[in-house]
Structure 1
Amino acid sequence: MGVDGGAVAVTALTHRGAVRQANEDAVVMGALTVAGADMKMPARCVLPLAEPLVVAVADGLGGHAAGEIASEHAVHRMAESGADLVGPEAVEQLLKHIDEEIKEHASQHTEFSGMGTTVAGMLLTADGNYWFNVGDSRTYRLQDGRLYQLSQDDSPALPPSEDGKPVTTNFITQSLGGSGASPMEPHVGRDPEPGPGAWLMCSDGLSDLVALEEMERIIAGSGSDEAAVFNLWQAAMDASGRDNISILLVRRG
Structure 2
Amino acid sequence: MPYVAVSALSHPGLLRSRNEDSLVIGPWTLCATVTESPQTLYFPLATPLVVAVADGLGGHPGGDVASALVVRRIASIGPALSSEDAVRDALNDCNRAVYLASGGDEGSELTTMGTTIAGAVVQPGSLLVFNVGDSRVFAASSRGLLQVSVDDSPPLGPGRRTTSLVTQCLGGTGTYRAVQPHVATASLALGDRYLICTDGLTDPVPPDMIDDVMREHDDGRAAVELWKAAIEAGGPDNITLAVVRVMDA
Inter-CA distance 119–27: structure 2 relative to 1 (3 Å threshold): same
Residue 111 of structure 1 aligns to a residue in which SS?
coil
Q: Which amino acid aligns with 1:198?
A: R
Q: CA deviation at 1:26?
A: 0.6
Inter-CA distance 208–37: structure 2 relative to 1 (3 Å threshold): same
| Alignment match, 1:234 | 228
Q: CA separation in 2, counterparts of 1:214 and 1:137?
A: 18
Q: CA separation in 2, counterparts of 1:82 and 1:109?
A: 33
> Would you say 1:209 and 2:207 are equivalent positions?
no
Q: Which among 21, 32, 50 is matched to residue 46 of structure 2?
A: 50
Q: CA separation in 1, counterparts of 2:32 and 2:107?
A: 21
Residue 9 of structure 2 aligns to a residue in which SS?
strand
| Alignment match, 1:130 | 128
Please say if residues 61 and 113 of structure 2, whose CA atoms lie closer than 8 Å, have aligned partners that are also in contact.
no
| Alignment match, 1:114 | 112
Q: CA separation in 1, counterparts of 2:246 and 2:13?
A: 28
Q: CA deviation at 1:143?
A: 1.4
Q: CA deviation at 1:78?
A: 0.9
Residue 132 of structure 1 aligns to a residue in which SS?
strand
Q: CA deviation at 1:127?
A: 4.5
Percent sequence identity over aligned pairs: 39
Q: CA RMSD in A?
A: 1.7
- Unaligned runs of 5+ residues in structure 2 are none
Q: Which among 154, 164, 183 is matched to residue 152 of structure 2?
A: 154
Q: Which amino acid aligns with 2:114?
A: G
| Alignment match, 2:99 | 103
Q: CA separation in 1, counterparts of 2:221 and 2:153?
A: 31
> Would you say 1:31 and 2:27 are equivalent positions?
yes
| Alignment match, 2:219 | 225
Q: CA separation in 2, counterparts of 1:10 and 1:151?
A: 19
| Alignment match, 2:242 | 248
Inter-CA distance 109–34: structure 2 relative to 1 (3 Å threshold): farther
Please say if residues 22 and 64 of structure 1, whose CA atoms lie closer than 8 Å, have aligned partners that are also in contact.
no
Q: Which amino acid aligns with 2:138?
A: Y
Q: CA separation in 2, counterparts of 1:252 and 1:64?
A: 37
Q: Which among 141, 144, 153 is matched to residue 143 of structure 1?
A: 141
Q: CA deviation at 1:7?
A: 1.1
| Alignment match, 1:93 | 89
Residue 81 of structure 1 aligns to a residue in which SS?
helix
> Would you say 1:77 and 2:73 are equivalent positions?
yes
> Would you say 1:189 and 2:187 are equivalent positions?
no
Q: Which among 17, 23, 34 is matched to residue 21 of structure 1?
A: 17
| Alignment match, 1:168 | 162
Q: CA separation in 2, counterparts of 1:118 and 1:144?
A: 29
Give TM-score scaled by structure 1 length. 0.91
Residue 163 of structure 2 aligns to a residue in which SS?
coil
Q: CA deviation at 1:118?
A: 0.4
Please say if residues 138 and 195 of structure 2, whose CA atoms lie closer than 8 Å, have aligned partners that are also in contact.
yes
Inter-CA distance 145–229: structure 2 relative to 1 (3 Å threshold): farther
Q: CA separation in 2, counterparts of 1:109 and 1:15?
A: 31
Q: Which amino acid aligns with 1:203?
A: T
Once superposed, which parts of structure 1, at least 4 consecutive aligned residues long, lie more than 4 Å away? 62-65
Q: CA separation in 2, counterparts of 1:17 and 1:215?
A: 17
Inter-CA distance 139–160: structure 2 relative to 1 (3 Å threshold): farther
